[in-house]
Amino acid sequence: MPVMSGKRAFLDLLRQEGVDLVFGNPGTTELPLMDAFAVENDIRYILGLQEAALMAMADGYAQASGKLAVLNLHVAPGLGNAMGMLYDAQTAGSPILVTAGQQDTEYLVEEPVLSADLATLAKPFVKFSAQVERIKDLPILVHRAAKTALAPPTGPVFLSLPGDILKNDGDIELLEPTRVAPRVRGDIDAVNAAAELLARSDRPVIMAGDCVAQSRAHKELAALAELIGAPVYMEFVPNTASFPSSHPLYRGQITRSQQGVRDVLDKHDLLFSAGGDMFTWSLPSAVKPMPAGMTLIHLDTDPWQIGKSYPAKVGILGDPKATLPDLTAAVRERMSASAKAAAAARLKSATEAIAAEREAFRAKARALAGKTPVQPLALLEAIGAMLPKDAVVIEEILSSAPGARSLINSNDEQSFFGLRGGGIGWGLPAAIGARLALPDRPVVAMVGDGSAMYTVQALWTAAHYKLPIVWVIFNNTSYRILKQRLVMLRGHAEQADRFVGMELTDPAVDFVGLARSLGIEAQRAKTVKDATDLIAQGLKSGSSLLIDVDMERGYKPM
């Protein structure tokens, strides 16, 4: 076995795993690794100024590329700062190897400054967590972590790297990477059972989840939807473009409330979930979202999600791209002539209704275009109308988001990414990760003002590495979504029209000055046209631009 340093071995192992960049913010325990980077030519180090921002950058990169992202943090405070965004990465199923420097093992028992049980700290939010205790175990643990992160269901993993493991020399056998093939085909008996139910259904509906986009299965799900004449909804808060938004059967998102789901499902007799969220609520309700007698068929890459809260008549563990063709073929074989005719009639009726609904919604949005301050619907429609077809959209606009998935096209699996976990501050830095993952596509990030302030340090990274990104700040000078939900409680705040801790005024945040101080050009927009003109200018310029849009501040109704 060759003798080498742990720091050299670690970079060689990452290279074996196909890694070409590492996100990080260094400290004393990472100095051996930074020394190795001084002579490293294949793996690029991406510096961020705060760990939460870095975690979201790695998340955006992992989601947009589908590759393993690597993030190197500094001891307990660094990992602690990243935890909120690590939660988001977990809910998104992002394959990220998170590492943190640890104090030398030889004196950890003395509890040196900044040390902690890092593997235990990270464990609730990752698929695998460990500390490297011996230099010879470094290859096994790096390869194990990478394999686990990329195996379905994908997700983040964690390794604690003590300083002495990195700086010492040892006999190290690098071994080789392992990959778990992701194209798991669903059990044929379960597929046939599901096909029987789908072939007999009179009013089927489909909910599409992130695993459809992650497995690149747009075409496969569209084929099933067209065969049975079923409208397709996206899950509540999708991270991805889980169904092409211009498809005639695309119905957008269901309102994220128990009553909203019930209103939709009452019109149907069967729900087929292709990895859809079943269901994650923000607020409790006495309304039961699932109608009595509703048949549920659930296909997912994660067995934990199947039948988790609502019993599935048929549960299928499988990759959508591998399993949906089998299911579609089995349904077609079982459909009688009358069933095929009924499905064709449903297809015609649904596409006509959806087309009319879509045009009415766009007309409503266009009618608001002249109002100031800017109305969210009007700005979303205008952005959707002017973006290039290959644009990648990052969305974290919370209270302004309703309608975004219907007004902005997302027709390929890498075209639209949103915040599923709910830990705000993700969107601004996630756009940097997406741009690094997809360097040949324009990236536009729509971010709320409250969210932007959590991770605004990320702008420096974009400036430093000269990454062309357009950020649009939907600035309503408040935590508007909290106001909306507080109004729903019908309590003192609504009656007094007073919202404590929810105003971002006195002073207002100067996003233009803040962005410029971090090296990013910025402009203000007072109208929809101002905003779209600036977006077009930013896309054409080949450099980053932040646009602070003066948004409507009302919060009623939800």
CATH of the domain at 332: 3.40.50.1220
Confidence class of residue 557 from pLDDT cuts 50, 70 and 90?
A: low
Please give the pLDDT value at position 558.
Answer: 46
Domain extent, residue 464, equals: 368-550
Q: What confidence tens digit (pLDDT) does each residue in 410-460 have?
A: 999 999 999 989 999 999 999 999 999 999 999 999 999 999 999 999 999
Q: Are residues 233 and 143 in the same domain?
A: no
Is there a domain that residue 361 lies in?
Answer: no
Given a cut of 90, whether residue 178 has pLDDT beyond it is: yes
Is there a domain that residue 176 lies in?
Answer: no
* Most confident by average pLDDT, 73-87, 225-239, 250-264, 486-500: 73-87
Tell me the longest C-alpha to C-alpha distance in the chain.
77
**Number of domains making up the chain:** 3
Q: Are residues 62 and 140 in the same domain?
A: yes
Q: Are residues 394 and 468 in the same domain?
A: yes
CA distance 426 to 59: 9
Confidence class of residue 93 from pLDDT cuts 50, 70 and 90?
A: very high
Is there a domain that residue 294 lies in?
Answer: yes
Q: What confidence tens digit (pLDDT) does each residue in 187-220 have?
A: 999 999 999 999 999 999 999 999 999 999 999 9
Q: Encode 179-192: b = buried (16+ Cβ within 10 Å), e = exposed.
A: eeebebebbeebbb
Q: Are residues 409 and 313 in the same domain?
A: no
Is there a domain that residue 362 lies in?
Answer: no
Is there a domain that residue 182 lies in?
Answer: no
pLDDT over 70, % of the chain: 99
Is there a domain that residue 180 lies in?
Answer: no
pTM over 0.85: yes
Please give the pLDDT value at position 254.
Answer: 83
Q: Are residues 537 and 436 in the same domain?
A: yes
Task: Identify the H or E element spanning 158.
Answer: strand 157-162
Q: Are residues 193 and 328 in the same domain?
A: yes
Angstrom distances, CA of residue 501 to CA of 307, 454, 473, 477, 479:
39, 15, 20, 12, 8
Q: What confidence tens digit (pLDDT) does each residue in 242-292 have?
A: 999 999 999 998 888 899 899 999 999 999 999 988 888 877 889 999 999
pLDDT over 90, % of the chain: 87
Q: Are residues 396 and 306 in the same domain?
A: no
Q: Are residues 33 and 167 in the same domain?
A: yes
Q: Are residues 326 and 210 in the same domain?
A: yes
Using a 10 angstrom Cβ sphere, with 0-12 exposed, 13-18 middle and 19 or more buried, the burial of residue 145 is buried
Given a cut of 80, whether residue 1 has pLDDT beyond it is: no
Beta bridge partners of 474: 448, 549
Given a cut of 80, whether residue 533 has pLDDT beyond it is: yes
CA distance 275 to 301: 7
Q: Are residues 126 and 157 in the same domain?
A: yes
Is there a domain that residue 66 lies in?
Answer: yes
Is there a domain that residue 181 lies in?
Answer: no
**The last residue of a domain, from among 354, 387, 405:** 354
**The last residue of a domain, from among 115, 140, 171:** 171
Structure tokens at 261: 């789901």
Please give the mean pLDDT across all residues of the chain: 95
Whether the CB-CB separation of 519 and 446 falls below 8 Å is answered with: no
Q: Are residues 164 and 247 in the same domain?
A: no
Whether the CB-CB separation of 125 and 90 falls below 8 Å is answered with: yes
Q: Are residues 159 and 207 in the same domain?
A: no
Please give the pLDDT value at position 199.
Answer: 98
Confidence class of residue 2 from pLDDT cuts 50, 70 and 90?
A: confident
**The last residue of a domain, from among 354, 380, 396:** 354
CATH of the domain at 57: 3.40.50.970
Q: What confidence tens digit (pLDDT) does each residue in 342-401 have?
A: 999 999 999 999 999 999 999 999 999 999 999 999 999 999 999 999 999 999 998 888
Q: What is the DSSP string of 195-255?
A: HHHHHH-SSEEEEE-HHHHHTT-HHHHHHHHHHHT--EEEPSS-SS--S-TTSTTEEEEPP
